[in-house]
Amino acid sequence: MTENSDHSEHPDHLDHSARHGYSEQDLQREFAELEGKSETAARLFDIRRIIGGLFVLYGVIVTIVGLTDDDAAIEKAEGININLWTGLGMLLLGLFFLGWLKLRPTAPPPPDVQEPSDVQKQ
């Protein structure tokens, strides 16, 4: 391959961002901001938080229904208070997911490492 095929050395590539009014530092800063926002959104909408929260919510509701069941509902389930046991199971599963999220959070973003040439420019 020739040296002209390398995009970093191509003269049009170097002037491309300057023609649009953005410097290389502006583009890098914008990219870093967007990357940080994306990682924050990923941590906020972690699937474990959503699943755990829903299971806890529905577990509390079904447990309350199980505690207020009358004898007819219990006899219909062959003597087992199925709402109570299902609600407690859902509650425990939801707490497991939330505990898992607390004990093993998503990895924080790596620190922003600048190249020595970028440090000298600032």
- In angstroms, rounded to a whole number, what is the distance separating the alpha carbons of residues 85 and 66? 8
Please answer whether residues 84 and 61 qualify as being in contact, where contact means their C-beta atoms are separated by less than 8 angstroms: no
pLDDT of residue 68: 94
pLDDT tens across the length of the chain (122 residues): 454 554 545 555 555 545 567 778 877 777 777 766 666 666 667 888 899 999 999 999 999 999 999 999 899 999 999 999 999 999 999 999 999 988 887 766 566 666 655 555 55
112 CA to centre of own chain: 20
pLDDT of residue 29: 78
Please answer whether residues 52 and 98 qualify as being in contact, where contact means their C-beta atoms are separated by less than 8 angstroms: yes
pLDDT of residue 118: 55
The residue whose two tokens read 């699943």 is: 51
- In angstroms, rounded to a whole number, what is the distance separating the alpha carbons of residues 92 and 10? 60
pLDDT of residue 92: 97
The residue length of the chain stands at: 122
